[in-house]
Structure 1
């Protein structure tokens, strides 16, 4: 058994956007992390809420940017949604698809009939992210749901990380229909639902998997719901302030700046750090306040402060004494 964090697990499940990729380019260190896991003999899976590509397309994209992947290692919310609908409806049932061609193909391959109009009497609407989704198909979906079709969402991620910053995700497109219909989807398939994680574990016969994500509200909450340990990396959507304010169901087992944290001792990433000093940082608590002093690795300061905020200290009651502490809190918008 290796002494680094990843060595304690028999499967590593990566989210993609914000963890391995930013749209179509690898996040620094992702290629090296995946190849080191493979060299160590650790099985890998990729579980993504993005429904705009099929598993084979995702694997090809990853391979194309240097991140090794096989289609069998990839699970997408598009595939999971189509499989679930096929379990619930007779073969050939008409399903109105709001999303990319990948989602239509998954619906077709599941034995269902993808349609584009409420006039085709769809018995279900499935909605996933697609960059070409516009008013026309959203209007048809609204009419179909009002007529009684069951509304499935592949995921509800409000944003997608990109090199230029967060962009509208499927949750933003769902908000259009939510506003028009004054209701939520009937079924949400992807993370934070645990199905992608539990399916990945079952495929690999894993008894101790580790899930890695950049979003507390999907990746980490999904891992918690699946009963799995998780690692939050700060290369995507959720930042230090989000982690400090995270409710219990969104708290990871570990936190790291990036995927290099997989190969450091687990005790250097475990969160929270239950103590008053670590890595050159000190926290002094008095009543409902917490004061950070010293200097060092920002991740150690974050782990230390999580012990305070997760036990009741509000973010507004955090302050710094040293110049390094003050600057760090300011960089976290605290």
Structure 2
């Protein structure tokens, strides 16, 4: 595919949505040129938002994480997480009670902030399953991959409760060559085994894009999807979600999608980005 320079593309848009991991940073730290890229956008008056499927951290923690890696120029109010959309779902669907979850205690803050009691699936009392009012797939870590997934399946076989998937990512890179299963893969396995469909948030679902647009609209009231460039490293989340929401999309080759496989992945998936760039640093 034709490779475009990101700096030349971005200057035509008043709003840019970035994915975080694989776009702003990866396993090596910040993407080279990321700091300069964001600074140049600020200088041009471009509205920046970070849309991340990582439900393990709050917007405050996610912004602090970027600052830790050397990118301090993105405040928490400019970070949209899949956990925020999950919290909204829980607030609407479950009025009170306990919500069991797979994930870390930090990710469980999204349940607690919805006014509910968070219970790790490992600590669920199967003699009191009537206390469980919902279930959330939150994070890639914080549980035993074998034991707790079996507990999840058995819990959901016995309790027909709302189930939400906060992170729909199937894989995440752990180094240049290798990946690990992400929360979305675990949720899909459980769906398949149980023959059920769960409520899913995070990209490619539209809720995060709408929250990003609403956030920008506070400062740019006339904003519409045509004003937005979505920048991501994954076809099935960032690019599919952006295409579906009607924004322009740019696929970068600094994360999940590699330069030697991008042509094949686009052809086989049918998910076509408007632009392909090596990274945001060019």
User: With structure 1 as the length reference, what TM-score do the two structures score?
Assistant: 0.71
- Residue 53 in structure 1 maps to residue 57 in structure 2: yes
In the alignment, which of 244, 250, 256 is matched to residue 237 of structure 1?
256
- Alignment-derived partner of residue 210 in structure 2: 198
Q: How does 1:100-119 map to 2 (within 5 A)?
A: 100-116=104-120, 117=124, 118=126, 119=128
Q: Please tell me the root mean square deviation across aligned C-alpha atoms, in Å.
A: 2.1
- Alignment-derived partner of residue 136 in structure 2: 126
Larger RCO, structure (CA 8 Å, separation 6 or more): 2
Structure 2: where are the runs of 5+ without partners? 1-6, 218-222
The number of equivalent residue pairs is 256
CA distance in 1 between counterparts of 2:116 and 2:186 reads 23
Give the 4+ runs in structure 1 shifted more than 6 A. none
**Cα distance change, pair 246–70 in 1 and its aligned pair in 2 (3 A):** farther
Q: How does 1:104-253 map to 2 (within 5 A)?
A: 104-116=108-120, 117=124, 118=126, 119-120=128-129, 121-134=131-144, 135-146=146-157, 147-164=159-176, 165-178=178-191, 181-205=193-217, 206-207=223-224, 208-239=227-258, 240-248=262-270, 250-253=271-274
CA offset digits 1:202-229 (Å, max 9, x no partner):
1111321111100000100000111111
Q: How does 1:294-313 map to 2 (within 5 A)?
A: none
**Cα distance change, pair 153–228 in 1 and its aligned pair in 2 (3 A):** same
Rg larger in 1 or in 2?
1
Q: CA deviation at 1:86?
A: 1.0
Q: Is the 8 A contact 2:14 2:45 kept in 1?
A: no
Q: Is the 8 A contact 2:17 2:229 kept in 1?
A: yes
- Residue 75 in structure 1 maps to residue 62 in structure 2: no
Q: Is the 8 A contact 1:97 1:103 kept in 2?
A: no
Q: Is the 8 A contact 1:192 1:218 kept in 2?
A: yes
Structure 1: where are the runs of 5+ without partners? 262-334
